[in-house]
Amino acid sequence: MGQGGTNANAKQDKVIMSYLNTKQALISHLLSNLPTGVTADDVAFENLPINPSGKTLWLAAYFIPALSEATGKTSASNYEQRGIFQISVYVPVAGDNFDNDQLTAIDELQQAFNYGGKLLYNTQEVEILNNTVNSAVNAEAWYKRDISIEYLTFTTR
């Protein structure tokens, strides 16, 4: 490359932030850390529903991008994306074990997605900022409680 020319490989050296890679990092981590008694067949994903009949514990995962912005105004500044990876945990209403199995699953998910955790997928690093759990609600025949995992990703310009 001559002086003043462009380097075609420069873009390859940068980490390219991608919603797809961020989502895949979160989903891959979930599938590698499923709560006790839950298999991949017990997880509903966006645009891939499951039939929960006959299940005593199942999950639904949602990728919710929230913010994408530059962290500065120079070419040396970064971009960041923040969002929520929400996992809904379902047990039958008035089940034999009340909500104990649900709370055990949430405890295990909180351990898997703990503060400061770093996930990686295709060079996309995803940092876990925190996780919160809401109060449960009845959702037809199911008792549902959500764990919301706040994530952060960075890339260079």
Domains located in the chain, CATH noted:
10-141 (3.30.2000.20)
- As a dihedral over the C-alpha atoms of residue 66, residue 30, residue 132, residue 38, rounded to 10 degrees, the angle is 140
Per-residue confidence band for 52, with pLDDT thresholds at 50, 70 and 90: very high
Dist CA 36 CA 104 (whole Å): 8
Per-residue confidence band for 96, with pLDDT thresholds at 50, 70 and 90: confident
Please state the rounded mean pLDDT for residues 53-79. Answer: 87
Dist CA 155 CA 89 (whole Å): 32
* Window from 44-48, 72-76, 91-95, 100-104 with minimum mean pLDDT: 72-76
Checking if the pLDDT of 56 tops 50, the result is yes
Residues 6 or more apart whose Cβ sits within 8 Å of residue 107:
none
pTM for this prediction? 0.84
Say what the pLDDT of residue 17 is.
65
Per-residue confidence band for 150, with pLDDT thresholds at 50, 70 and 90: very high
Q: Which residue has the tokens 């298999």?
A: 39
Checking if the pLDDT of 124 tops 80, the result is yes
